[in-house]
Amino acid sequence: MDNIVFQVDGHLAEITINRPKALNALNSATLKELQVVIEEIANNSEIRVVILTGSGKKAFVAGADITEMKEMNAIEARAFGRLGQKVFSSLENLPQVVIAAVNGFALGGGCELSMACDMRLASTKAKFGQPEVGLGITPGFAGTQRLPRLVGKGRAKELIYTADVIDAQEAYRIGLVNKIYEPEELLDKARELAHKIISKGPCAVSLAKSAINNGLNMDTESAFNYEAEIFGLCFATKDQKEGMAAFVDKRKADFKGC
Ligand code: CAA
């Protein structure tokens, strides 16, 4: 792959968007490579947590590739938007947990990519924003949908209508990021968080993700029913047997998988 570095170490996978000369901007080729990596992760049940970051010190992802978009007609732009939406949805719906380690600019498609992850850890140097209206376009990789769901409608509208770029502290204040770290400790902290999640029941974590993600797209009663199904399903897993046996035996659980 030309634009992505993908590494697996035990239960942890790391994806690095690697176009530093273009501040890791997402062109079609990079989106397609990302889709291939996501499918590989989906088919590898050894992987439990994924960290997604950008290469270099300056950017996570500075947006969709403006040079490529500049020449697009309406039909091509719609297809490009659909491609980004599809890739980000498959990332969001992975059975594994995905942590964004936002090491710099996360603008436009970059902010949208981080929002398709389960959690966002930011470096003190990270900057977030949806600057699209300044380019005469709207956010196109589901930012109009994920941002209001994360930070509320009023704040999302303010960010999108003004194209303001906010720093990590402000992103933390409005609930867009979970934690902020110094740049040199960001990846270690992301790995620490990943290993904490890896040490828990892998089926339980994955089922909890499914309950949250799918439940939020349902009416409340259906979501409660879905949660009850998921909760019941846990009792058919080795995770539940081992987790509860370990508690009763007063020892640390040793989860091996479903
Ligand atoms: N697309 C293509 N190339 C990009 C890019 C992008 N989104 N962002 C940066 N680059 C390129 C620059 O063109 C530049 O390339 P050259 O060296 O060949 O000129 C290189 O990366 C370095 O960028 P700058 O010289 O601009 O670096 P800077 O430090 O002065 O500024 C920045 C950094 C503020 C992030 C600035 O690059 C910038 O504003 N980038 C665009 C951000 C943006 O508008 N993103 C949204 C895109 S639209 C979108 O994402 C739509 C969607 O939802 C699908």
Domain that holds residue 191: 4-198
Q: What is the CATH classification number for the domain harbouring 135?
A: 3.90.226.10
β-strand 97-102 against 119-123: which pairing, if any? Answer: parallel
Cα 8 to middle of ligand 1, angstroms: 29
Domain shared by 38 and 134, yes or no: yes
Q: Residue 258: what pLDDT?
A: 83
- The yes-or-no verdict on residue 49 having pLDDT over 90 is yes
Domain shared by 166 and 233, yes or no: no
18 located within any domain: yes
Domain shared by 92 and 166, yes or no: yes
Among 19, 66, 160, which residue has the most ligand 1 atoms within 8 Å of its CB, making it the best to mutate? 66
Cα 62 to middle of ligand 1, angstroms: 5
Cα 105 to middle of ligand 1, angstroms: 9
Cα 95 to middle of ligand 1, angstroms: 32
- The predicted-structure confidence for 231-257, as pLDDT tens digits, reads as follows 999 999 999 999 999 999 999 999 988
Read out DSSP for 82-119?
HHHHHHHHHHHT-SSEEEEEE-SEEETHHHHHHHTSSE
Domain shared by 239 and 126, yes or no: no
Domain shared by 91 and 181, yes or no: yes
Is 112 catalytic? The answer is yes
Cα 151 to middle of ligand 1, angstroms: 24
Strand partners, 12: 9, 49
Q: Which atom of ligand 1 is nearest to the CA of 84?
A: 54
Strand partners, 184: none
Span 34-62, mean pLDDT? 98
Q: Residue 168: what pLDDT?
A: 98
Domain shared by 147 and 35, yes or no: yes
Q: What are the φ and ψ backbone dihedral angles of 100, each rounded to 5 degrees?
A: -90, 125
Span 112-130, mean pLDDT? 98
Domain shared by 112 and 187, yes or no: yes
- The yes-or-no verdict on residue 223 having pLDDT over 90 is yes
Span 210-237, mean pLDDT? 97
Domain shared by 170 and 214, yes or no: no
Q: Residue 220: what pLDDT?
A: 98
65 lines ligand 1 (CB under 6 A): yes
Catalytic residue among 14, 33, 112, 227: 112
The H helix count followed by the E strand count for the chain is 11, 10
22 lines ligand 1 (CB under 6 A): yes
212 located within any domain: yes
Number of domains in the chain: 2
pTM for the structure as a whole: 0.98
Span 61-88, mean pLDDT? 98
Q: Residue 257: what pLDDT?
A: 83
Domain shared by 103 and 169, yes or no: yes
Q: What is the dihedral of CA 135, 138, 93, 16, to 10 degrees?
A: 0
Q: Which atom of ligand 1 is nearest to the CA of 67?
A: 2
104 lines ligand 1 (CB under 6 A): no
- The yes-or-no verdict on residue 55 having pLDDT over 90 is yes
Q: Residue 47: what pLDDT?
A: 98
Span 133-156, mean pLDDT? 98
The mean of the pLDDT values for the chain is: 98
Span 69-92, mean pLDDT? 98
Which protein residue has the closest C-alpha to ligand 1 atom 35?
Answer: 62
Strand partners, 100: 52, 120
Catalytic residue among 14, 39, 76, 132: 132
Domain shared by 192 and 207, yes or no: no
8 located within any domain: yes
CA-CA distances (angstroms) from residue 25 to 4, 57, 76, 143, 167? 12, 14, 18, 16, 19
